[in-house]
């Protein structure tokens, strides 16, 4: 059992899907877990248990009596609302030495119609099973399926420092997580329970949720206030004396209250914008799997999918910039990852050129045939920041301008230099006016374009381990990015 993958590893091995989100900050992962569980408890009440819910399934409810869904969790029950828990057939995965005693729960007095809960069945986990170190919850109802995991970071270099919280409504992810649990049931100490559990799962199959359900969950998530957890380590033990804890908590409260109001607004907008876009993106993916669509329809659906992906990435970058700028605990790891900048440029150049062409701009690149590896703290974030920088330039340049990207070695660093050149045929053409929105964003009113400000972009490059400098001239602008070289001497 010790060689089985953790649920965090199962989740990390899957391609990121819509209706999914993760947080790998050791300061926020535990808080995110508690907020998500509280939000899910409210969602179950509103979507599954409410008699007037537009998502109700009376036929399924009648077949299984009072049970409205099933839940697998560990190492303890996740809901403290007994009225809700009474309507979910629940199994608890817990260490074998603790499994001798079932989880005894008192009657759910909140609702006289609810059958009292005597105990919750347990699934014993043998000593050495890595699942013991994780908190998780998997729910299946007639309306949706959902999984949430709080565990060690899948990267061994980060495992001692970071926890990772992840959740998803995506059926494919829920099914893969279930398969990891299924193996432990079928071939573990609780194998006699397996046939009964399978019958229950047949009553509540994994399904794609109505788009309104993830949206409602996002609203509930935003309504949850972060729980108080001053000066805690990942294992939940205090690292300071009570007096130090009090001072630390007071400092956090002062920092939180002094945060600009636009940061809180961005948190809300980021979630509210990305949730419906991921729904549209998923529906587009499902349509593209069909083989009977006309070519013109397929092209338009692909265009919709590209636009949704672009907007989701844009708001993801904005949200990440907000975290790194205003939340000290969100600092990136010091672990450097070697990557091929050459591959990154090749993969993105066509997309960048398409974006600039929409603004009637041109973009070209001059680069050596072979580039050495670079080493940064977050390769995915580098991809997003470079794309964001191209978007910033495209919003700030007049029509007909040109952007040139020059890549060259500069000692122990790799230099990427973006040079802009205004339209030579119309030297009097005015540059679009960009307006600042708070401390992080720039807004182009004519097009509705939204991009990160240069100070925020500089901060992101610094967090990655690089540097951005900006020199402005009357008709041009030069942005120079320095990225540290990797330890390998060979070019990619």
Rounded average pLDDT over 205-215: 85
Task: State residue 267's pLDDT score.
Answer: 65
Most confident of 193-202, 277-286, 368-377: 193-202
Q: For 111-152, how does the pLDDT look when each residue is reduced to its tens digit (9 = 90+)? A: 444 444 447 889 998 888 888 889 999 999 999 999 999 987
> What CA–CA distance (Å, rounded) separates 395 from 367?
25
Q: For 22-51, how does the pLDDT look when each residue is reduced to its tens digit (9 = 90+)? A: 555 555 678 888 888 989 999 999 888 887
Phi and psi, residue 488, nearest 5°: -80, 140
Provide the pLDDT confidence category of residue 7 given band limits of 50, 70 and 90: confident
Taking the whole predicted model, whether its pTM rises above 0.75 is answered as no
463 pLDDT exceeds 50? yes
Q: Residue 312: helix, strand or coil by DSSP?
A: helix
For domain 337-484, the CATH class is alpha beta
> What CA–CA distance (Å, rounded) separates 251 from 255?
6
Q: For 282-295, how does the pLDDT look when each residue is reduced to its tens digit (9 = 90+)? A: 888 888 888 888 99
Is residue 424 within 8 A of residue 398, CB to CB? The reply is: no
Task: State residue 456's pLDDT score.
Answer: 87
Give CB contacts under 8 A, 24+ apart, made by 434-437.
434/395, 434/396, 437/262
Share of the chain above pLDDT 70, in %: 71
**Beta-ladder partners of 406:** 366, 417
- In sequence order, what are the residues at sequence separation of 6 or more whose Cβ sits closer than 8 angstroms to the Cβ of residue 465? 336, 375, 376, 377, 483, 484
Rounded average pLDDT over 417-431: 71
**Beta-ladder partners of 225:** none
């Amino acid at each position: 059992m010790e060689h089985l993958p953790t649920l965090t590893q199962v989740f990390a091995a899957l391609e990121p899907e819509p209706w999914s989100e993760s947080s790998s900050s050791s300061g926020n992962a535990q808080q995110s877990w508690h907020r998500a569980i509280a939000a899910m408890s409210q969602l179950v009440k509103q979507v599954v248990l409410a008699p007037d819910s537009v998502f109700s399934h009376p036929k399924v409810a009648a077949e299984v009596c009072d049970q409205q869904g099933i839940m697998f969790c560990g190492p303890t029950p996740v809901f403290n609302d007994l009225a809700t828990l009474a309507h979910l057939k629940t199994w608890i995965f817990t260490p074998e030495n603790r499994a001798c005693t079932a989880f005894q729960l008192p009657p759910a007095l909140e609702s006289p119609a609810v059958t009292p809960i005597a105990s919750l069945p347990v699934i014993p986990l043998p000593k050495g099973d890595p699942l013991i170190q994780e908190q998780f919850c998997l729910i299946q109802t007639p309306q949706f399926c959902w999984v949430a995991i709080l565990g060690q970071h899948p990267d061994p270099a980060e495992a001692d420092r970071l926890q990772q919280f992840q959740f998803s409504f995506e059926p494919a992810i829920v099914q893969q997580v279930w398969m990891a649990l299924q193996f432990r049931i079928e071939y573990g100490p609780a194998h006699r329970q397996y046939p009964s559990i399978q019958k229950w799962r047949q009553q509540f199959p994994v399904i794609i949720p109505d788009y309104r359900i993830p949206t409602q969950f996002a609203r509930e998530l935003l309504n949850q206030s972060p729980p108080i957890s001053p000066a805690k380590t990942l294992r939940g033990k205090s690292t300071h004396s009570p007096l130090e804890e009090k001072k630390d908590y007071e400092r956090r409260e002062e920092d939180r209250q002094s945060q600009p109001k636009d940061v809180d607004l961005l948190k809300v907008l980021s979630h509210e914008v990305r949730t419906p876009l991921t729904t549209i993106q998923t529906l587009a993916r499902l349509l593209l799997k069909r083989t009977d669509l006309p070519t013109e329809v397929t092209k338009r659906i692909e265009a919709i999918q590209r636009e949704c992906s672009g907007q989701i990435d844009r708001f993801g970058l904005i949200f990440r910039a907000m975290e790194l700028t205003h939340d000290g605990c969100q600092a990136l790891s010091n672990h450097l990852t070697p990557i091929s900048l050459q591959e990154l440029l090749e993969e993105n150049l066509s997309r960048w050129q398409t974006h600039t062409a929409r603004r009637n701009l041109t973009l070209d690149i001059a680069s050596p045939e072979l580039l050495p590896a670079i080493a940064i703290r977050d390769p995915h974030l580098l991809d997003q920041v470079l794309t964001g920088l191209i978007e910033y330039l495209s919003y700030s340049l007049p029509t007909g301008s040109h952007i040139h990207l020059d890549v060259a070695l500069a000692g122990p660093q790799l230099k990427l230099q973006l040079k802009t050149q205004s339209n030579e045929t119309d030297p009097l053409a005015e540059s679009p006016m960009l307006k600042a929105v708070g401390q992080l964003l720039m807004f182009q009113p004519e097009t509705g374009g939204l991009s990160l400000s240069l100070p925020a972009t500089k901060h992101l490059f610094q967090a990655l381990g690089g540097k951005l400098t900006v020199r402005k001239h009357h008709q041009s602008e030069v942005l120079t990015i320095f990225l540290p070289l990797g330890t390998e001497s060979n070019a990619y």
